[in-house]
Amino acid sequence: MRFTLGEKIELKRGLKDVYIDRSKVSFIDGKQGMLIYQGYNIHDLAEKSTFEETIYLLLYGKLPTQEELNKFETELRSNREIPHSVIEIINMIKEAHPMDVLRTAISALSAHDPEVKDNSIEATLRKGIRLTAQAPTIVAAHARILEGKAPIAGDPELNQAANFLYTLFGVKPDPEDAKVMDMDFILHAEHGINASAFAARVAASTDADLHSAIVAGIATLKGPKHGGAAESVTKMAMEIGEEDKASEYVTKTLKDGGRIMGFGHRVYKTIDPRSIHLRDQAKLVAERKGQPKWFQILSKVAEVMKPYEAKGVCVNVDFWTGVVYQLLDIPEKFYISIFSMGRIPGWTVQVMEQFDNNMLLRPMLEYTGSIDLEYVPIGLRK
Amino acid sequence: MRFTLGEKIELKRGLKDVYIDRSKVSFIDGKQGMLIYQGYNIHDLAEKSTFEETIYLLLYGKLPTQEELNKFETELRSNREIPHSVIEIINMIKEAHPMDVLRTAISALSAHDPEVKDNSIEATLRKGIRLTAQAPTIVAAHARILEGKAPIAGDPELNQAANFLYTLFGVKPDPEDAKVMDMDFILHAEHGINASAFAARVAASTDADLHSAIVAGIATLKGPKHGGAAESVTKMAMEIGEEDKASEYVTKTLKDGGRIMGFGHRVYKTIDPRSIHLRDQAKLVAERKGQPKWFQILSKVAEVMKPYEAKGVCVNVDFWTGVVYQLLDIPEKFYISIFSMGRIPGWTVQVMEQFDNNMLLRPMLEYTGSIDLEYVPIGLRK
């Protein structure tokens, strides 16, 4: 016998267009290509703000005064260090994917956080600040260990973006490079209830703590359909190899039923507003460094893909991110980790919002199997 | 300006009664109190099956022949060992909550799994078998390290349940205790798309790998509203202290607006079928060990709560689980970890099912903030 419910079940596969809650954190208008963090347009934030100010905005819901920002930056900078045992753990699993290492190290940091069990909004905010400060230390330490170099201590004179590049490469970064990194962090800080933020909210809905929720977010962001696209775009650019082969590559790939990476989005049906800034930065950095090749290849790809805009298949945030990272000499395999560490403020504020008006996230599955198979003793089974 | 959508948004808070997909893995009839794994009633499995056979049923969708079961048991037993470096990691973070340790250790195991990147159904199944075999090794090692004892190697002569008790306590378990543990594992092996399985599916929906999905599941199960109830029931029993204080405790707690732990469930509105077996086991073990106290206290609590059954507030699986673990001398703080390690087969098969017909799980949030706040330079902010 199969089970049948009295009424027809409406399946919401992928939870497409299902609204699960209200939020004041961010807004995406997929038709107009608009992204808002806590009331502010992403264009203003990308052009006028800093990552530190944007984190403050996300976590506190308002832009800081100079005094508030100073205090906040001090708090962030004083929390960058990670325990030596976590460095040891990174070293022990260094050959794993950087996202596996980041996930494990963040998970291990729960053993050292004095407020791990405290799920109050205030403690969750403080833990979010600590994790935001600690995550780049993990990523930079891992990258250096992989190159056989010792991790280096941060420089409290440097902001989050500059300090990340410094601890990654061991030299004080060009201020223009640091500014590009800073803008990249701003653009990646929050993006509504995409799969990783959703996973963090599902964890938080059981009253699991922030470390658990962020670990669930990182685990989810790892998927190639989510955080992995920037790396794939870079690989595609390398595969194309030179500008005048881009057109043929795109045409052939699409003809063969393949996909061009860095295009299309569940919500945006027009150009992703973040991609505009990343494209501009990619162009500037390529010119400044005298390495126009990758930018030119991707520009050609974008040009050939232009007709698909009418169908809602547009450049997304990942399309230009990869070439920016490549021009900053960041190893490909760390692209998703950088995305993750920039997203921690967004995950944190969404967990705070979830805690504030919590309800267990527990959907249903329509069962299509049998319900009355007879348990046959093992000797009689065929 | 605030953003308003043209149409009224219907919120699905908690995703209550929202069906997100079809499944052949398990079925819960919350009105009749029925639980089915792959077509078989949980009562048959609890009484006639073994954990190994149940894992096989969940993963392969059929009960094994003797030959298939023998081969499967060999595979499980040969995968119990975990790398020394993971033992070291457990030792380094031993003071953390056992769920934080399990989450970190499973995450770290990704560094050692030869098929970590392979998301094929076949490789995912093999990884699920490995993680099912490895998880008890992590939990037992952690418990022993906490007591200042060295972890001990498993005994390939013992099944999963007996070996867990052996590696936990260092002595071969009483076969009756092992049988109780075995039934407990059967009853916890799978339970539909509860929050932890859902988090595992959200991770898998991005094509993240099984280790990531299981880590998301563990992170989510940690929450007191999900996996933490058995521990809370035990704490409640201890607080009550003796049988003739149970009635007063329940009455007073409810009068003060408190909650009696181990009652009520999002899906079950009648008695949880798993609790029947756990109650029977609790009674038998209590008698056998000559320690009737906790069973008697909880029986009294259940009796006083009886009138609430009419309102759908019934004993759930966690109510009797705690006393069973307590009678087996398992430290309270490890209760959720034991739940987790028993659930790995269920999470694995749900991830396999998600991969088989995958679609990104990405819902929406209704934005209730502003969309056009003016970016005021920092010096002019108040």
Q: With beta carbons under 8 A apart, name residues in chain A contacting B207.
A: 223-226, 228
B92 three-state secondary structure: helix
- From the list B265, B280, B356, B372, the catalytic residue is B265
Q: From the list A9, A66, A226, which residue is nearest B378 (CB)?
A: A66
Any chain B CB within 8 A of the CB of A372? yes
CB atoms within 10 A of CB A222: 31
Interface test with A, best of B11, B28, B107, B142 (most A CBs within 10 A): B107
The pLDDT score that the predictor gives to residue A179 is 98
Domains and their CATH numbers in chain A: 26-224+332-356 (1.10.580.10), 229-327 (1.10.230.10)
Beta strands in chain A (DSSP E): 19-23, 26-29, 34-37, 40-41, 364-367
Sign of the alpha-carbon dihedral angle for A204, A210, A211, A215: positive
Q: Which residues contact A352 (CB under 8 A, 6 or more apart)?
A: A59, A121, A124, A125, A128
Any chain A CB within 8 A of the CB of B376? yes
Question: Could you give the CA distance from residue B127 to residue B156 in angstroms, rounded to a whole number?
Answer: 20
Contacts with A, B 131-190, CB within 8 Å: none
The token pair at A233 is 């775009």
Are residues B369 and A24, on separate chains, in Cβ contact within 8 Å?
Answer: yes
The token pair at B261 is 């732990």
Residues of chain A with pLDDT under 70: 1-7
Cα nearest neighbour of B84 on chain A: A92
Are residues A362 and B194, on separate chains, in Cβ contact within 8 Å?
Answer: yes
Interface test with A, best of B7, B62, B100, B194 (most A CBs within 10 A): B100
In angstroms, how far is CA B379 from the centroid of its own chain?
52
Q: CA distances (Å), B119 to each of A204, B126, B213, B354, in order?
A: 27, 11, 11, 11
Are residues B15 and A16, on separate chains, in Cβ contact within 8 Å?
Answer: no
Beta strands in A226-370 (DSSP E): 364-367
Beta strands in A211-308 (DSSP E): none
Q: Give the β-pairing of B19-23 and A364-367.
A: parallel
Are residues B20 and A26, on separate chains, in Cβ contact within 8 Å?
Answer: no
The pLDDT score that the predictor gives to residue B16 is 93
Q: Which residues contact B376 (CB under 8 A, 6 or more apart)?
A: A63
Contacts with A, B 2-61, CB within 8 Å: 3, 9-27, 29, 34, 36, 38-41, 44-45, 48-49, 53
Q: From the list A196, A362, A381, which residue is nearest B195 (CB)?
A: A362
The pLDDT score that the predictor gives to residue B226 is 86
B97 has catalytic annotation: no
CB atoms within 10 A of CB B70: 12
Question: Could you give the CA distance from residue B224 to residue B195 in angstroms, rounded to a whole number?
Answer: 12
Q: Which residues contact B334 (CB under 8 A, 6 or more apart)?
A: B98, B139, B142, B143, B325
Closest of A100, A85, A101 to residue A144, by C-alpha: A101
What does the H/E/C string look like for A118-174?
A: CCCHHHHHHHHHHHHHHHHHHHHHHHHHHCCCCCCCCCCCCCHHHHHHHHHHCCCCC
Q: Which residues contact A84 (CB under 8 A, 6 or more apart)?
A: none
B2 three-state secondary structure: strand
The answer to whether residues B319 and B302 touch, using CB atoms and an 8 Å cutoff, is yes
The answer to whether residues B286 and B294 touch, using CB atoms and an 8 Å cutoff, is yes
Cα nearest neighbour of B371 on chain A: A39
Q: Give the β-pairing of B40-41 and B34-37.
A: antiparallel
Q: With beta carbons under 8 A apart, name residues in chain A contacting B39.
A: 369-373
Q: Is B15 left (phi over 0), alpha (psi -120 to 50) or beta?
A: left
The pLDDT score that the predictor gives to residue A2 is 53
Cα nearest neighbour of B108 on chain A: A104
The pLDDT score that the predictor gives to residue B266 is 82
Task: Concatenate the DSSP letters of all residues of A329-376 into one string.
Answer: T--GGGHHHHHHHHHHHHHHHHHHHHHHT------EEEE-SBS-----
Which residue is it, tokens 């205790």?
B177
pLDDT in tens, B167-186: 999 999 999 999 999 999 99
Residues of A with a known catalytic role? 265, 318
> What 8-state DSSP symbol labels residue A189?
S
Question: Could you give the CA distance from residue A135 to residue A156 in angstroms, rounded to a whole number?
Answer: 16
Crossing angle of helices B293-305 and B317-327, in 10° steps, is 170
- Residue B233, classified by CB atoms within 10 Å of its CB into exposed (0-12), middle (13-18) or buried (19+), is buried
CB atoms within 10 A of CB B280: 14
Q: From the list B15, B69, B203, which residue is nearest A220 (CB)?
A: B203
Q: From the list B34, B104, B213, which residue is nearest A108 (CB)?
A: B104
Any chain B CB within 8 A of the CB of A67? no
Q: With beta carbons under 8 A apart, name residues in chain B contacting A53.
A: 378
Are residues B223 and A216, on separate chains, in Cβ contact within 8 Å?
Answer: no
Mean pLDDT by 10 residues, chain B (382 residues): 66 96 96 96 98 98 98 98 98 98 98 97 98 98 98 97 98 97 98 97 98 98 88 92 95 93 88 95 96 94 93 91 94 95 98 97 96 96 90
pLDDT in tens, A236-275: 999 999 999 999 999 999 999 999 999 988 888 898 999 9
What does the H/E/C string look like for B4-42?
A: CCCCCCCECHHHCCCEEEEECCEEEECCCCEEEECCEEH
Question: Could you give the CA distance from residue B230 to residue B319 in angstroms, rounded to a whole number?
Answer: 6
Closest of B159, B148, B151 to residue B86, by C-alpha: B151
Q: With beta carbons under 8 A apart, name residues in chain B contacting A207.
A: 223-226
The token pair at B307 is 């009138």
Q: With beta carbons under 8 A apart, name residues in chain B contacting A16.
A: 362
- Residue A102, classified by CB atoms within 10 Å of its CB into exposed (0-12), middle (13-18) or buried (19+), is buried
- The pTM (predicted TM-score) of the whole model is 0.97
Are residues B209 and A194, on separate chains, in Cβ contact within 8 Å?
Answer: no
Q: With beta carbons under 8 A apart, name residues in chain B contacting A85.
A: 92-93
ipTM computed for the complex: 0.96
Beta strands in chain B (DSSP E): 19-23, 26-29, 34-37, 40-41, 364-367
A37 three-state secondary structure: strand
The pLDDT score that the predictor gives to residue A361 is 97
Are residues A378 and B69, on separate chains, in Cβ contact within 8 Å?
Answer: yes
